[in-house]
Amino acid sequence: MTTAGTAHRSPTVALLLGLLLSLAVVVVYTWYITGQINGLRRLQSELTDRNRRESLQLLRIQDDLNQLGLSMQDMLDSTGPYPVSARSAQFERIRTDLDDALKQQEAVAVARRTPEQSRYLAQSVAQFWDAVDRMFALARAGHEDEAREQIRLTLQPRQASLGTAVARLLVQNNEAEAQVAAQAQEIYDRVQRQVYIFLAVALLAITATSLYMIRSNRRLFAELESLSEQRRDVAQTLIATREATLREISRELHDEFGQILTAIGSMLGRLSRRVPEDSPLRGDLREIGEVAQSALDNVRGLSQSLHPSILEELGLDSTIEWYLSTFERQAGVSVSYERVGGPQPVDEQTAIHVYRVLQEALANVARHSGAKEASVRLVSRERSLQLEVEDRGRGIQLGGTRRGLGLVAMRERAALVGGTLDVTAIPEGGTRVTLRVPAKAPSAVA
């Protein structure tokens, strides 16, 4: 039996702590990965996409500035067919498109430029259009040469300066896009490393938990095996004690009470012979004698039921035949008996356990099966003995949640003599109990 000093703590607490720790690691890792993915999404949506849209608007601004530059070169040609003022409609159209491109560029621009840089571009564009307005005013006033001089000295340098500023912004956008790509790659690499670390930690946790469970299961099975052996020892001791007690009670009944009842019958017989034939006392004595004889028969029957003395005197085969006839008379169940193989000497210990298994199996037939017929086969083989008890009734419930003590006792008795007990359901209905034991020859008595 397991004592307080050898009792082991249940592994449930440790396994629960391991489960909680694993869940905490998964939650923390999920939170970390989610943050990294959100950061990556923010980089891609808020930086990369906006950089590309801003680059498109800057290219649009650059295209408008190039168109202005080509138009101003044409306007400087005094031999052209059109006057300078004829270009005002084209400049207005470019101005409208350029203003729209600047507004959209400002809306999608990433907030990484200083306010001075943003004001510089807006002020430069405003100053350029102011100069354009003055130039067209001169042209409409008929001062073509002064208007061309204004283009050469003011508008073209300002257009070149704006083109340089836009080109610088495009370079900055390209550099920013490269930085974003580098940051995204860094996030990918970091997440990949964290995944490897998490997998390694998870594998270590699984390995540690598995080893702990294996160790706990081995210890638990060892304890169960020890408890099973202890239980078997206790059961065998109880069975042996029961058999010894029944043998002692049987002998007491047979020797003490049997002798007393035999003596009473003998005394009644002598007394009856001394009483005259016509005396009423003679009939009373005869009746008392019959009662005493009936009590003697009952005591002898009870003695045989508790421990059949014929088992030691006549052997297992005769004991089985005697018990089957007694069982048929008491239980009202017809039993057919078949003996296969010749009589085989069996030691007393094996014989009593085979007899008890037969008793319990037939008792189950009478109590549970509802059958009115049963069959018993005793098969002798080389160094083995097999007992089969079969019925065609309801049988016992093999799959039930409750196991009868009788079945447990039969298995323990089989184990006591190194045998096995099988209880199987017959497809046609009923139950078959099969006991197999090694046949040990009785030891010689000195």
Provide the CATH number for the domain around residue 193: 1.20.120.1730
Strand-by-strand arrangement of the 384-391 sheet: 334-340, 373-381, 384-391, 431-438, 420-425
Number of domains in the chain: 2
Taking residues 385-412, report their average pLDDT.
73
The CATH number assigned to the domain holding 323 equals: 3.30.565.10
What residues have CB less than 8 Å from 53, skipping those under 6 apart?
Answer: 104, 108
Looking at the domain assignment, is residue 219 inside a domain?
A: no
Same domain, 199 and 326: no
- Tally Cβ neighbours within 10 Å of residue 166: 23
Q: What b/e string do you get for 296-328 counting C-beta neighbours within 10 Å, with b at 16 or more? A: beebbeebbebbbbebeeebbbebbbebbeebe
Mean pLDDT of 122-131: 88
* pLDDT of the residue at 45: 64
The answer to the question of residue 391 being in a domain is yes
Domain residues for the domain of 28 are 12-213
Q: Is residue 108 situated within a structural domain?
A: yes
pLDDT band at residue 1 using 50, 70 and 90 as cut-offs: very low
Q: Is residue 244 part of a domain?
A: no
Same domain, 171 and 43: yes
Choose one of 213, 230, 255: the last residue of a domain.
213
DSSP-assigned beta bridge partners for residue 101: none
How far apart CA 101 and CA 62 sit, in angstroms, is: 10
Query: Are 74 and 180 within one domain?
Result: yes
**Nearest Cα to 115, choosing from 103, 126, 106?**
106
Final residue of a domain: which of 164, 184, 213? 213
Q: Is residue 299 part of a domain?
A: no
User: Confidence class of residue 96 from pLDDT cuts 50, 70 and 90?
Assistant: very high
**201 lies in the same domain as 323:** no
Q: Are 323 and 204 part of one and the same domain?
A: no
314/203 same-domain check: no
Give residue 186's pLDDT: 82
Q: Which residues pair with 423 in a beta bridge?
A: 433
CA distance 398 to 113: 85
In a domain, 251, yes or no: no
Q: Which of 213, 235, 266 is the last residue of a domain?
A: 213
272 belongs to a structural domain: no
| 322 and 208 fall within a common domain | no
Mean pLDDT of 22-46: 75
User: Which of the two residues, 57 and 47, has the higher pLDDT score?
Assistant: 57
Amino acid in position 261: L
207 with 312, same domain: the answer is no
Pair (175, 324) in one structural domain:
no
Phi-psi region of 429 (alpha: psi -120 to 50; beta: other; left: phi over 0): left
pLDDT at 254: 65
Of the two residues 362 and 249, the one the predictor is more confident about is 362
Q: How crowded is residue 390: how many other Cβ atoms within 10 Å of its Cβ?
A: 21
Query: For residue range 182-199, what is the model confidence (pLDDT) as tens digits?
Result: 877 887 788 778 788 877
Measured distance between the N- and C-terminal CA atoms of the chain, rounded to whole angstroms: 39
- Across residues 17-30, what is the average pLDDT? 78
pLDDT band at 302 (very low <50, low <70, confident <90, very high): confident
Are 188 and 322 within one domain? no
At 433 the pLDDT is: 92
For residue 326, tell me if it sits in a domain.
Answer: yes
Overall pTM surpassing 0.75 (yes/no): no
